[in-house]
Amino acid sequence: MRAISPGEYNHPYYSLRRIWRVFDRVNPDLGLSPWVEDTYTRAYPFSVEPSRKLTREEIFDLYRDHYEGTEFDMTRGVAAGPYGDPHRFVGPYDGLQSDVGDGDARKYGAWERAISVFYQGYTYVCERHPDQSEAAGAIMWFAPDVSYTSVFAPFWAGAGELPESYQTGNPRAYDANAAWWVFDFVANWARLNWRRMIAADIRPLQRELEDRAFDMVAEVEAELAETADAAAAQALAAERSGENARQVLNRWAGLGQTLIAKYSDGYINPPPEDRTDAIPVGYPADWLSRTNYADGPVTYAMPVGKQRD
């Protein structure tokens, strides 16, 4: 490998931290260290056996990780801002983070690279059911854009077609009819007040829609088991997965519109039918203490040390 590859590009732990995190989450009993000697480490095995059987939700959540609860938690610290935003955008000072560069060059610093990184294009999880018919034997759970703020929707491999919204889209031109843009909008808007929007709005709807999809899959698999006609089975799989995807997009587009009004101008604004006043959000005391807020004008008195000669 050393003869043909410099390893992890120009960013130490570009991939290894993510590998450690997944292994540690699925089998913490291994006690693997997040720190290694170099990019060619043999400290991690090729694969690990989970300490217990994982649910679909747990597998999805592996892709929605920002190292929460660890020393690398990207929702904490000054860089996360007042609302725990885990995104760390790349700038010219980062060097060639995702390309081969001068491995000996001294860098000023680096951000951790989360599994649910801000520039995700899509995430998928493949599920195989060898005891099922050909139409129901394989499902791909597909989530456009960033996995943390997206919804995994099931598509049977035996289906004849996919919804148009999941086949089209250009990341350089906004299109409200493209699935990627529906999710990308919410992902970006959530950065206005990440922790609150995630807990109060995004994750609850995400869980609701994925739980509904789990139930739908069980129902369709039961129907497909009773369908001997291959063409009919294919049509059923396409119809039900397509309808689910359309419902997901409609609900998520509605969520995006709700977030615009609900969090406008730094407030929590009640819906039109609610006559109560908007609630000011402000900033956490800990974050304020790290800013120049305490130096702001609270009286007409000149602050100590500011007097003129």
- Going from N- to C-terminal start, the domains of the chain cover 1-118, 122-267
C-alpha count within 13 angstroms, C-beta hemisphere, residue 241: 31
Q: What is the pLDDT of residues 162-179, one digit of tens each?
A: 899 999 999 999 999 999
- Note if the pTM is more than 0.95: no
Residue type (1 letter), 194:
W
Mean of the pLDDT values across residues 45-57? 96
* pLDDT per residue as tens digits for the range 272-290: 899 899 999 999 999 999 9
Nearest of 146, 101, 143 to residue 124 by alpha carbon? 143
Q: State residue 292's pLDDT score.
A: 92
Percent of the chain with pLDDT over 90: 70
11-15, 56-60, 87-91, 100-104: the lowest-pLDDT one? 100-104
CB neighbour class for 71 (10 Å; exposed up to 12, middle 13-18, buried from 19)? exposed
Model confidence band, residue 304 (pLDDT cutoffs 50, 70, 90) = confident
Please check the confidence at residue 76 and state whether its pLDDT lies above 70. yes
